[in-house]
Amino acid sequence: MKRPEVRLPRETPRQRRTKAYKDEWEEIRKNRRTTSRRRRVVRGPEFVLALERASQATGDPIFADALRAARQYGLDREFERRASRLQIEEFGDPLDAHLAQVAFLVTRGKLEDGKRRPLSVREACECVVAETGLPGASFKAAVERLRKQYLAHPRPDDSQVLNLEAAMRSLLARRIVEQEFLGKKPHKK
């Protein structure tokens, strides 16, 4: 009697690409962990206390000004949350750059073998997460967060494609504001 042949499920090209993106993301995360130590979260009261001590120890008015500013902006309470909100208000959402990359891959495609292959929204998000090492609890969670953010972003019509030109303008404006804030002159081409 002949035994039936055992067939393993074949892996599709799309599944192979997803696995490659995930491996790339994990490699980036592994390298990040080994090169830098985990930062210590500074709580609001600790931050204010450090500024008070520095002000008293040095007598430098800069620390007194920083202390007044911290209290004025509410950084003495819920420091991390408030600092993040202020950063988003001032510079915009940090995911905007990633959204512009996703929009580019969806509209123009990824360059492979000299040709551009348009990607689906999900695959474009996987590609961006893998290449940038976007943080997340897992690769899948990071992809889903980016995908939901991309799909929630306003569009001129009902399509799944984000307006690439508007996304790039938004990103450029954000970079200019950052450079002005930091006192640097924007590069002109």
What is the distance between the alpha carbons of residues 175 and 100, in angstroms, rounded to a whole number?
Answer: 13
User: Nearest-CA neighbor of 22 among 134, 184, 155?
Assistant: 134
pTM score over 0.75: no
User: Nearest-CA neighbor of 182 among 95, 99, 87, 96?
Assistant: 87
How confident is the prediction along the chain (189 residues), in pLDDT tens digits per residue? 677 777 777 888 888 889 998 998 888 888 776 545 556 666 677 778 888 888 888 888 898 888 888 888 777 776 666 666 766 666 666 677 788 888 888 888 888 888 888 888 999 999 999 988 888 889 999 999 989 888 887 665 555 555 556 666 666 666 666 666 566 555 554
| Amino acid (1-letter code) at residue 143 | V
